[in-house]
Chains A and B, each alone.
Chain A
Amino acid sequence: MRRYFGRKLLIYLVTFFLAVTIDWMIPRFMPGNPVQNMLARASVRPEAAEAMYGYYTKAFGLDVPVWKQYLNFWVALFHGDLGTSVYLFPQPVSKVLRESIPYDIFLLLPAILLSWWAGNKFGAFAARTKRLDNTLLPIGYILTATPYMWLGILLAWAFGVVFDIFPIAGAYSFSMQPHWSWAFVWDVLKHWFLPFASLFLVGFGGWAIGMRNMIIYELEADYSHYMEALGAPRKLVRKYAFRNAILPQVTGLALQLGVIVAGALVTEVVFSYPGIGYLLLAAIQNQDYFLIQGCFLFIITGVLLANFLIDIVYVIVDPRIRRGMVGE
């Protein structure tokens, strides 16, 4: 057991190191210069610009050789310092992220977990129920093949523009300030619903299809037939099949996480939802090295942590994995 987790942990650490390195490299390979961008926006006089350019380049630590920048980056990271945002100067990146991350968690966690749970339950329920099966299958395939942002745009158009039920931009109304009141909570929920629904529906379709296929496979497995031959009620046979069919779905969840995070990025852009995705788009447009790094760092950490959690869950639910670990 310890060896298994030790090895897993090592793999995750290496992955983290490589991912963060790439994360550091990519913004720096983009053409252009963030400080010049910033000064261009401020439109200062040319002679002042020269002095300011030197000052800011130094302030952002961009005046030293690239390899030293890389080392400085790791040192700062271990001190919890993610640098200062160029785009939102002089706010530190960690503060900017802290303001966005709650929105992301609020949107992503329910969308991922609820679509997984509901999709699996519904898929298992629909399998071998003729009429449901015939309708579920095509709908599920269409949903899961739909790009997140396209579904988002459709939903925004239908429920935001045509029926005018839900607002289509922001996390709360522009006329409101965040505070604790029922009116505000209701407003936040209304703004949350459409981006949530577009993430949820795409996920739901995929999980339902996957579960339906898996459970049919499990119901045809030898142990299911044995239970039937011994007169076990349909409920018990289905319970066993579900428990075994869920295992690949757990793996699927781990694999899907990265995709969902990416899907959330574009969904947030569609709905101007102030999460990491929306922030990242702004950061890239402004060549904000440090904000880009910060956003990706959050995504990398999130995906790795989720995968590690799922490794643990797998050990708990599948005795065959536990046995494999003894044999190592």
Chain B
Amino acid sequence: MSLRVEDLTVYYQTLRGDVRALESASFAMADGEIMGLAGESGCGKTTLSTSLILLVPPMKQMGGRVLLDDDELPISDVEAMNAYRFKEVSVIPQYAMNAMNPTRKIGRMASELLKSRGVDPKKALPELERRLDLVELNRKVLKMYPIELSGGMKQRMVMVLSTLMNPSLLLADEITSALDVSTQKAVARMLVEFRDREIVKSVIVITHDMSILYQIADTILIMYAGQLAEKASTKTIIHAPRHPYTKLLISSLPKVGAHHDESRLVGIPGKPPLLLDPPEGCRFRERCPEAHEACVKVPPFIEIELGHQVACWKVGGPHA
């Protein structure tokens, strides 16, 4: 097991009270797994991934623990976590377009960063150049400032920077959102390539774009309003989802070959609850067509078959 998250609960502390953005999340990832993390905006995807690398106020860990390669990550301890950042856990942030210091040449920034982490930049240079070739970036970019690069180039550059120390876990947050479709595909393919070459061991890909996940993810984890809903292999999630939310989510995606002039695409009626004071129990129950009285209690996230976990009273378990 590369990554194991147990009962991880993270709240944002605000003046109006705790925003309960991540509620006792438990899941595991195998070595070499690319896991897609999907759900609507504000469902806690970024909270989950950020808490694995940079958990700073107003975020606060309320419970649970994270194990990476059987080593517990001190995610709440900003200083102690530094030893793991970049080397064990790394991130391609949502804001990759602005992630590089605008007034430093990229090469210089990279070497200053490496030096600060105790790596001799000169020794790392050949590897850095090899990686640039891998993502099809000209080696000259090291002599350039970030503003001289296009969006796609910056995205790839950050990808190379973030993975330079061969982290065990890579968090890729919305890496394709700002790119056009063909660049999206190229970047996604590079991510798989990085995994195949064992530059990174496992990857969490955060996106709301299910089609990208369909192409690159081995498994998909669906979140709703701070709770985990379902985790299964990509194929299962797309073709045989069990959680009512996943079912509605998948059915609201356009299908290849379908004619939507006859049957309109349907969405999910209603809105996700506010996480400042969320309802008790399953947070999807207000919009759920299958809700019943058991749903006022939080359903456990249980394995109904090998590698398929669902959090719903209607699915699996003794009631099924």
Q: Is A128 an interface residue (CB 8 A)?
A: no
Tell me, yes or no, whether A50 is within 8 Å of chain B by CB.
Answer: no
Q: How far is the CB of A230 from chain B (nearest CB, A)?
A: 4
B101 within 8 Å of A by Cβ?
yes
> Measured between C-beta atoms, what is the minimum distance from A133 to chain B in Å?
16
Chain A residues within 8 Å of B235, by CB:
none
Q: Which residues of B contact A232 (CB under 8 A)?
A: 113, 116-117
Kindly state the separation between the CA atoms of A222 and B178 in the bound complex, as whole angstroms: 16
A222 touches B113 (CB 8 A): no
Q: Does B147 contact A (CB under 8 A)?
A: yes
CA distance A243 to B101 in the complex (A): 10
Q: How many A-B residue pairs have CB under 8 A?
A: 77
Contact of A243 among B84, B85, B103, B147 (CB under 8 A): B103
Contacting pair A222 B93 (CB below 8 A): yes
Partner of A323, one of B95, B112, B147: B147
Closest chain B residue, CB of each to CB of A224: B101
How would you classify the secondary structure of chain A's contact residues: helix, strand, loop or mixed? Answer: helix
Find out whether the CB atom of B116 lies under 8 angstroms from the CB atom of A233: yes
Contact present for A230 and B145 (CB under 8 Å)? no
How many chain B residues touch A (CB < 8 A): the figure is 32
B54 contacts A228, CB within 8 Å? yes
The A194-246 residues at the B interface (CB cut-off 8 A) are: 221-223, 225-233, 235-236, 240, 243-244
Cα A317 to Cα B102 with chains together (Å): 11
**B189 shortest CB reach to chain A, Å:** 24
Name the residue of chain B whose CB is nearest to the CB of A227: B113
Q: B91 contacts which of A223, A229, A319 (Cβ < 8 Å)? A: A229
Q: How far is the CA of A235 from the CA of B91 in the complex (A)?
A: 21
Among B54, B102, B105, B148, point to the contact of A225 (Cβ < 8 A): B54
Tell me whether B113 and A230 are in contact (CB under 8 A): yes
Please determine whether B145 and A223 come into contact, CB atoms closer than 8 angstroms: no
> B99 in the interface, Cβ–Cβ < 8 Å?
yes
In the bound complex, how far is the Cα of B135 from the Cα of A298, in angstroms?
58
How far is the CB of B81 from the nearest CB of chain A, in Å? 8
B151 CB to closest chain A CB, in angstroms?
Answer: 14
CB of B147 within 8 A of CB of A244, answer no
A-B pairs with lowest CB-CB distance, top 4: A231-B85, A222-B98, A226-B99, A222-B95
> What are 19 A-B contacts with C-beta separation under 8 Å?
A223-B102, A225-B95, A226-B91, A226-B99, A228-B54, A228-B56, A229-B53, A229-B54, A229-B85, A229-B91, A232-B113, A233-B116, A235-B116, A236-B113, A240-B103, A240-B104, A318-B103, A319-B105, A323-B148
Since A236-B116, A319-B147, A320-B147 are in contact, a sample of 4 more A-B pairs with Cβ atoms closer than 8 Å, ordered by chain A residue number, is A222-B95, A223-B100, A231-B85, A323-B147
